[in-house]
A and B are shown apart, each in its own frame.
Chain A
Amino acid sequence: GENVEQHPSTLSVQEGDSAVIKCTYSDSASNYFPWYKQELGKRPQLIIDIRSNVGEKKDQRIAVTLNKTAKHFSLHITETQPEDSAVYFCAATRGYSTLTFGKGTMLLVSP
């Protein structure tokens, strides 16, 4: 089955800096890679996703890049704000099976 590794487990940045979270996956047939943000005590929220026919996708301050050859994908957050503080999860799927999640990255943005 699919295995997703996520790094780092914690990331501290100053407000305004950029943050990068990286994930690797094992199943070369995976074709969908979503990112979820989970604030303390709240539900995971889908913030951005990418499919394997696309190398990069942006949505305002967040972007995701995918390298199919190396089987890794990354989340980039620019101009971080304190409200970006949360746990971020990456996930992967083949599309006919369900999502396999990484263990999460706790992002702390200091004012």
Chain B
Amino acid sequence: DTGVSQDPRHKITKRGQNVTFRCDPISEHNRLYWYRQTLGQGPEFLTYFQNEAQLEKSRLLSDRFSAERPKGSFSTLEIQRTEQGDSAMYLCASSPPTSGVYEQYFGPGTRLTVT
């Protein structure tokens, strides 16, 4: 499968714990995006990278959230001191250098449940 991959697919954690998710974009896609999706809603933008540079962050991304893309390939999203309100599907997407922020291709997501 040469699509966007995410790991883990499911994560259950207790409130207050830290969690980290990984996203591997499609090969040679230089832009990578993180979104959050809750039940009955469309994806909400969190942050995006062009190569290793983090170019934009949403106000949704509180100081408990941090994202990295150290070598311009895979990315990690960390949530510190998780809260029940963080329970959601975390989606990663990537787009090729020829299309800007257009044509975003999504991964299968990581479903986070905070108990």
Contacts and interface: CB of A to CB of B under 8 A. Distances in A.
Chain A, interface size category, equals 20 to 34
B106 A95 contact: no
Instruction: Tell me whether chain A's interface is mostly helix, strand or loop, or mixed.
Output: strand
B101 interface: yes
A101 B44 contact: yes
Chain B, interface size category, equals 20 to 34
Interface of B: 4, 33, 40-45, 48, 56, 91, 100-109
8 contacts: A36-B106, A42-B108, A44-B43, A45-B106, A89-B42, A99-B45, A101-B44, A104-B40
Given A46-B103, A93-B102, A103-B40, 7 more contacts: A34-B104, A43-B106, A95-B100, A96-B100, A98-B48, A98-B101, A103-B41
